[in-house]
Amino acid sequence: MAFAAPASAQEWDMTWGGFYNSHVGYVTVDSNTPAHAGADFDGVDVFANTEIHFKPSVTLDNGLTFGVDVQMEGTNNGGGATGIDETYMFIKGDTLGKIELGNENSAGYKMTVAAPQVKGGIGINSPSISGFVPISVAAGGNLPWLFRDSGISSYAEVLGNNDVPRITYYTPSFNGLTLGVSYAAASNVAGTGANAGNNFGVNRNAGVTDIFDIGLGYSQSFNGIDLDLSARWGTAENNTGIAGTSDPEVWNVGASIGFSGWTIGGGYGENDNGGLRAFDSEGWSLGVTYDIAGPWSVGFDTYQGTYEGVGAGSGDEAEYEAYQLVGSRSLGAGVTWAVYAAYIEGSVNANLGGTFGANANTETEGTLIGTSINLSF
């Protein structure tokens, strides 16, 4: 009797890595919000953004690669009490494309093209600059500053959902063209804002459920030109039963072109929250970078966002403006040093409908001169 030989054992690649970005800056803040009355935020401060990534994987004889990606926050602001940010399994192959299962952002989010930025800046698009300037309502400022929202970032999600249990599929690239689709059962984890976790049952007759995203990306190089394009749309089912509300949506488009050391790009997006938030939002980014011969890169980018009140707050408006100039030098493998100057401003109009609380006719602005050491490993 003959037996088929078992498949040869494969070795797991126990990859790990991460990053540590450490900033030191001097900031001046001018704000006339009621919560900031008598406050003085001027001075030197530090800010760190750090994660450790565990990415073990194995490639089988059939060519398929199975692996996991678990990302641990070096500070708990991003990962919540557990410190875990994203955690998911992936399966990929040349003809299969890629499948992701677990707590991760949507295909539309991950395929977004926005303004380029030189490494080492403070981040004004999906901004970290709030670590220096108290611009959010939670910090006494005047902007909602909600995560994954077009009011402050090109990298948005439906109702700002983030790293919820999700299924995502990316097609193989066809001459530079890739399609991605995602589905998530609920807009948060077990009714909380936590990142990594399980749903433990989803009631489709309550809350916001069944989040669907689709993204389209194109990336190609020809005749010394690098071109990247993206478009995405997402929606969810509104089961709240709240009168006058509808299904929330998000969409954006972006483009980037590189040539002779230059990269120019930007994007535009909107969050239509269907009346489930007191406002809708939109924003755009634009930036340019240049790789100087040798270790230096320089760049300038801006983000411009708007929150518009809905319903009784129609006519209420808050605006976010941010500008940044960065110079970055590579010091060696995975080590860069940067210097930068950034300016941000949040402003609210007469706010007759009360959308933005007690912050009518207010401005919160900050100027930051900073430097950073950035480690990637």
Band (99; pLDDT cuts 50, 70, 90) = very high
Alpha-carbon distances of 271 from 54, 116, 357, rounded to whole Å:
32, 22, 21
pLDDT at position 157: 97
The first and second tokens of residue 13, run together, are 């690649």
pLDDT at position 196: 74
Q: Render pLDDT for 123-164 as a digit per residue (tens, 0 to 9).
A: 999 879 999 999 999 999 999 999 899 999 999 999 999 899
The first and second tokens of residue 341, run together, are 């100057």
pLDDT at position 359: 97
Q: Render pLDDT for 17-47 as a digit per residue (tens, 0 to 9).
A: 999 999 999 999 999 999 999 999 999 999 9
- Extents of the domains making up the chain: 17-376
Is 83 a residue whose pLDDT tops 90? no
pLDDT at position 81: 59
pLDDT at position 356: 96
Q: Render pLDDT for 108-121 as a digit per residue (tens, 0 to 9).
A: 999 999 999 999 99
pLDDT at position 191: 43
The winner for highest mean pLDDT among 7-16, 82-91, 254-263 is 254-263
Mean pLDDT of the chain: 93
What mean pLDDT do residues 190-198 have?
Answer: 60
pLDDT at position 201: 87
Is 238 a residue whose pLDDT tops 80? yes
CATH architecture for residues 17-376: Beta Barrel (2.40)
pLDDT at position 68: 98
Band (8; pLDDT cuts 50, 70, 90) = low
Identify the residue with better confidence: 76 or 355: 355
pLDDT at position 341: 98
pLDDT at position 228: 99
Q: Render pLDDT for 253-269 as a digit per residue (tens, 0 to 9).
A: 999 999 999 999 999 99
Is 285:314 a contact under the CB 8 Å cutoff?
Answer: no
What mean pLDDT do residues 321-348 have?
Answer: 98
